[in-house]
Chains A and B, each alone.
Chain A
Amino acid sequence: DTGVSQDPRHKITKRGQNVTFRCDPISEHNRLYWYRQTLGQGPEFLTYFQNEAQLEKSRLLSDRFSAERPKGSFSTLEIQRTEQGDSAMYLCASSTSGRAGTDTQYFGPGTRLTVL
């Protein structure tokens, strides 16, 4: 069990640029979540995948955001035309499909995005 990994750990970009983040979940986990955490706040849900299917997107996920999970393995989160308000920590988590709602989500170290 190597845990959830995320790449890059830090990203600094200029407003208007596109950025892409990658998440590698724990290998046998079929559930994958993306969250966003801003300073002084708890993580907020962005989107959820079960295997390769994206089953829920938060209203926080504007049309500038897109996420994929091809083949149900790693996932990418892309932000187009970044804005300063996108500056945050982006967290990825994965879990198995055990008893509904009781599964532990395992979090990656996060990608900290700074938009200048």
Chain B
Amino acid sequence: AQSVTQLGSHVSVSEGALVLLRCNYSSSVPPYLFWYVQYPNKGLQLLLKYTSAATLVKGINGFEAEFKKSETSFHLTKPSAHMSDAAEYFCAVSDTTSGTYKYIFGTGTRLKVLA
């Protein structure tokens, strides 16, 4: 079965500091991985996705993630945090074994940005 694990349910960074949100995956087949952001009482918005092309993926709002097969990781980074980045972030893997391609989500990381 495919799964993702997000380490750290809460992360706090100062404004302007590096943002690092961790995601590790487990998959017996090449995974397709996604990062979504959720603002309070809103749906999920795609930040970026890895679909086996370039291992360094650039997304919206200055975020990027690097797929590392050797570490089974897909960590999300942003060089300089902005107050507007405060939100909950979810890592997900597409279930390619069932044929439905449903997403399997991690438990999320709430990012707090300190002034």
Contacts and interface: CB of A to CB of B under 8 A. Distances in A.
Interface of A: 4, 31, 33, 35, 40-45, 48, 50, 55-56, 91, 93, 95, 99-110, 112
A55 B95 CA distance: 14
Contacts, number: 69
A103 B43 contact: no
B96 interface: yes
Interface residues of B, number: 28
Nearest to A48: B100
Identify the 5 closest CB pairs spanning chains A and B, nearest first.
A42-B105, A107-B43, A102-B51, A101-B96, A101-B94
Given A41-B108, A45-B103, A100-B101, A107 B44 contact: yes
Nearest to A112: B41
A4 B42 CA distance: 12
